[in-house]
Homo-oligomer: A and B are copies of this chain.
Amino acid sequence: MVQKRKSAASPPSSAEAAPVKRRGRPRAYEPDVALAKALDLFRKDGFAGTSLDDLSAATGMNRPSLYGAFGDKRALYIKTYERYRADARAAMQEAFKGDLPLRKRLQRIYAVALDIYLSGEEGPRGCFTVMTAASEAVADPDIRAMVLSGFHELDKAFAICFRSAQETGELPPSADPDVLAQMASATIHTIAIRARARTPRKDLEAIVRGAIDLMCGAGKG
């Protein structure tokens, strides 16, 4: 993967700083917002259920422009997935990083997750990682690797979370942070799936509450 163009001596900090007078006809679209629109469509209808015409209509770019900017449909899907992951990571990171007590931290994490999964004008869009696992991941090795990395990243973040809680004494030494992390991820997965079936937010929040109670009371045996 070679970096194309991008004037050699670009300002080191902000990638968006100078308009950088480019040579030909100027773009009629902003790649970032077009990618966001494409992501919306893919999250709603999945890979097979979204046509290039749909994508073209949603982004305002006609098909040749789409193709030139992002490559073919699969390449575009992968780019939207990477965008999703970056967005989700950014949203989750502060919830994970906070110095709050374990309970509060988990509450915030799941609240952010629910915001992501329940958003969508034409119905809750769920978790794109989970949806991709359910569809493309079996047959496509590259996409499968991305999905697995998504699962792993979440597992690890939760594990760190529980381990630090154990160190501060919020969890007993008998608790297993890795097992708890997998249950925390399982809770993420179940609410993502159920959200797609339009389970009301309050029901999902009840599931989260129960899971948090179980995880925070763990190992006291």
Contact = CB atoms under 8 A, between A and B. Distances in A.
Contacts of A190: 182, 185-186, 189-190
Interface of A is mostly: helix
Given A144-B197, A183-B187, 17 more contacts: A46-B46, A46-B135, A122-B138, A125-B138, A126-B138, A130-B193, A137-B196, A137-B197, A151-B199, A176-B210, A178-B210, A179-B214, A186-B189, A186-B190, A189-B193, A214-B215, A220-B221
A134 B197 CA distance: 8
Interface in A164-221: 176, 178-180, 182-183, 185-187, 189-190, 193-194, 196-199, 207, 210-211, 213-215, 217-221
Given A48-B46, A221-B217, A138 B198 contact: yes
A133 interface: yes
A180 B210 CA distance: 8
A44 interface: yes
Given A46-B48, A123-B138, A134-B130, A182 B211 contact: yes
Interface in A63-98: none
A102 interface: no
Interface residues of A, number: 50
Interface of A: 44-46, 48-49, 122-126, 130-131, 133-135, 137-139, 144, 147-148, 151, 176, 178-180, 182-183, 185-187, 189-190, 193-194, 196-199, 207, 210-211, 213-215, 217-221
Nearest to A146: B197
24 contacts: A46-B46, A46-B48, A48-B49, A123-B139, A124-B138, A126-B138, A130-B134, A134-B134, A134-B193, A138-B196, A144-B197, A148-B198, A151-B194, A179-B214, A182-B211, A183-B183, A183-B211, A185-B190, A186-B207, A189-B189, A190-B190, A214-B215, A214-B218, A217-B219
